[in-house]
């Protein structure tokens, strides 16, 4: 192996979804993510209202003991929502699907349940601790990733053209010339 080929390998981007090569995958992602988040907040709120009604009835039946579930209702509902949707076969929450977005790992795979749960936990934890900074991080990178995306090795892509993501993965799997 020559020094030039070693440098070429080091310079080669190991990230499957190169923003220079596939700019359409990153077009308008930041704006779409914000709208998707707001849609997901509405969906989660509706689920929380329905679950809250069930917990209230359960509390009456159990003479008030069931009302202790109100303490975990909101975080449990949000985590179940994120885990089942983001960690599911579509790799997107309903809000993300409406906006044509999909979450992928840096090497192209779809997220699994534990990663989806960690994505949600870190997102909400960083929102509490560093609210403006998690979005500000996306202004400095070509991949428009938020802080928790960088830590977890994930990227949110436009999924409007489903074949574009698969083509990027297939092309990255080919050996370099």
Question: pLDDT averaged over the chain?
Answer: 88
Instruction: Name the percent of the chain lying above pLDDT 90.
Output: 64
Which pLDDT tens digit goes with each residue over 90-149? Answer: 999 999 999 999 999 999 999 999 999 999 999 999 989 987 788 888 888 888 999 999
Q: Is residue 37 part of a domain?
A: yes
pLDDT at 138: 87
pLDDT of 6 above 70: no
Q: Average pLDDT for residues 33-55, to the nearest whole number?
A: 97
User: CA dihedral in degrees (115, 87, 120, 154; nearest 10)?
Assistant: 60
Name the pLDDT band for 89 (thresholds 50, 70, 90). very high
Distance of alpha carbon 45 from alpha carbon 98, whole angstroms: 17
Count other C-beta atoms under 10 Å from residue 115's C-beta. Answer: 19
Q: Is residue 79 part of a domain?
A: yes
- Helix%, strand%, coil% for the chain, nearest 5: 65, 5, 30
Q: Is residue 49 part of a domain?
A: yes
Instruction: Choose between 137 and 79: higher pLDDT.
Output: 79
Q: What is the residue whose two structure tokens read 């039946």?
A: 61
Instruction: Name the percent of the chain lying above pLDDT 70.
Output: 89
Domain range enclosing 55: 19-173
Helix (H, G, I), strand (E, B) or coil at 13: coil
pLDDT of 12 above 60: no
Q: Average pLDDT for residues 13-35, to the nearest whole number?
A: 87
Q: Is residue 146 part of a domain?
A: yes
pLDDT at 14: 64
Q: Is residue 77 part of a domain?
A: yes
Phi, psi (rounded to 5 degrees) for 49: -60, -45
Q: Is residue 119 part of a domain?
A: yes
How far, in Å, are 41, 73, 112, 150, 177 from residue 89 at the CA level?
21, 25, 9, 22, 33
How far, in Å, are 24, 103, 150, 165 from residue 14 at the CA level?
19, 18, 14, 16
Q: What is the total count of domains within the chain?
A: 1
Q: Is residue 73 part of a domain?
A: yes
Q: Is residue 110 part of a domain?
A: yes
Task: Identify which of 142, 121, 27 has the alpha carbon closest to the alpha carbon of residue 76.
Answer: 121
pLDDT at 134: 81
The token pair at 25 is 């995958």
């Amino acid at each position: 192996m020559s020094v030039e080929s070693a440098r070429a390998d080091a310079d080669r981007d190991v990230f499957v979804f190169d923003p220079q090569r596939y700019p359409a995958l990153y077009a308008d992602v930041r704006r779409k993510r914000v709208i998707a988040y707001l849609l997901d907040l509405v969906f989660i709120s509706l689920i929380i209202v329905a679950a809250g009604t069930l917990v209230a009835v359960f509390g009456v039946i159990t003479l008030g003991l069931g009302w202790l579930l109100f303490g975990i209702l909101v975080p449990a509902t949000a985590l179940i929502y994120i885990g089942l949707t983001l960690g599911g076969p579509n790799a997107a929450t309903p809000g993300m699907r409406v906006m044509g977005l999909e979450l992928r790992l840096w090497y192209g795979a779809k997220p699994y349940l534990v990663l989806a749960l960690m994505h949600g936990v870190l997102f909400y934890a960083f929102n509490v601790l560093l609210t403006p900074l998690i979005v500000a991080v996306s202004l400095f990178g070509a991949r428009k990733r938020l802080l928790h995306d960088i830590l977890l090795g994930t990227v949110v892509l436009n999924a409007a053209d489903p074949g574009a993501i698969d083509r990027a993965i297939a092309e990255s799997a080919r050996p370099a010339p």
